[in-house]
Amino acid sequence: MSNSKNFSNIQGFFHQHEVLSSDRTRIGFKSIGKGPGIILVHAALRDSNDYIRLAIALSHSFTVHLMDRRGRGLSGSQGLEYAMNKECEDVQAIRQATGADYLIGHSYGGLVSLELARMDASFTKVALYEPGVVINPMDDAWMLRYEQAMLKNDERDAFAHFVRGMGHTPLTRLPYWYAKLILRLMVRGDHWRKTAQLLPQNLLEHREVQRLSSSYQNYNSIHADVLLIQGGKSSDYTKEMMNELNRTIARSTLETVNNLDHFGPENDGGPDQVAKLLTTFFLISEGD
């Protein structure tokens, strides 16, 4: 009860807004702070509430616009024609309303940010925490099993296929039934209810990840200064991907935060550590 009350109090520091994207979908976001504008684009199976602490840590130096991507929170549904271009249009709508020139993206939100920076050279600085980039073609068999489980309303089954299929955790090497049991024990209560609610959106988003797999070479056209951040505890695959991105993007820098994993921007202690790197990056004058 007390945690819920504290969270409500924290939310009171944010100002809520909404804009209409190109297809007239409502996109909600909340803003905090004073200074240069940053749009924070969240990961899959997440919404703006998961980044409250990171936004607060950044708000001492920036105006942070914490969006709810379509399909969750303050925003409208993904829509029948959902694709990556819709995500990019949503971010652009917030940019037009706020004048923010900087981007932060985490995981799938990092993929959105990369695609937008590739298409729009007017973004001068982009920071990415382990963006959802695939550098080798994906085996999509797990995605079909995920979809079949959703059609049967078996959300636990769908989630287990997703976690194992992405191949970035030790659960991938375990028998399916055992991995599903472990996930049931690990992801419970409010965390599970939120995850289950976002599983349909997550499926559509990972179809876009699949469609864009192995097209990371296109990011060599990005002109923005790019900060890449990875967790020292993240998988070897993730670190390989981050190194490849760093080689591909002309004006990029790769930083590692040793004690964090893929969920560093959300975990205890992680938001403050990530915010320090982000603050230094965004406050450095361009061209220094």
Q: Give the pLDDT score at 173.
A: 85
% residues pLDDT > 90 (the chain): 85
Q: Give the pLDDT score at 2.
A: 44
Residues 6+ apart with CB under 8 A from 5: none
Average pLDDT over residues 118-137: 94
Contact 274, 38 (CB under 8 A): no
Residue 100 burial (10 A CB sphere; 0-12, 13-18, 19+): buried
- Least confident interval from 102-106, 214-218, 223-227: 214-218
Q: What is the pLDDT of residues 54-94, one digit of tens each?
A: 999 999 999 999 999 999 999 999 999 999 999 999 999 99
Structural tokens at position 57:
């840590």
Fold of 2-135+216-283: Rossmann fold (3.40.50)
Contact 123, 154 (CB under 8 A): no
Average pLDDT over residues 20-30: 98
Contact 147, 203 (CB under 8 A): yes
Domain with CATH 3.40.50.1820 in the chain: 2-135+216-283
Q: Give the pLDDT score at 287.
A: 45
Question: Please, what's the b/e burial string for 147-159 (b: 16 or more CB within 10 A of its CB; e: otherwise)?
Answer: eebbeeeebbbbb
Q: Is the pLDDT of residue 10 over 70?
A: no
Confidence of residue 285 (pLDDT cuts 50, 70, 90): low
Who has greater pLDDT, 127 or 3?
127
CB atoms within 10 A of CB 232: 12
Confidence of residue 172 (pLDDT cuts 50, 70, 90): confident
Structural tokens at position 198:
């976002």
Summary mean pLDDT of the chain = 93
Q: Give the pLDDT score at 192.
A: 97
Q: Is the pLDDT of residue 3 over 80?
A: no
Q: What is the pLDDT of residues 180-200, one digit of tens each?
A: 999 999 999 999 999 999 999
Cα distances (angstroms) measured from residue 280 to each of 46, 99, 125, 220: 26, 21, 12, 24
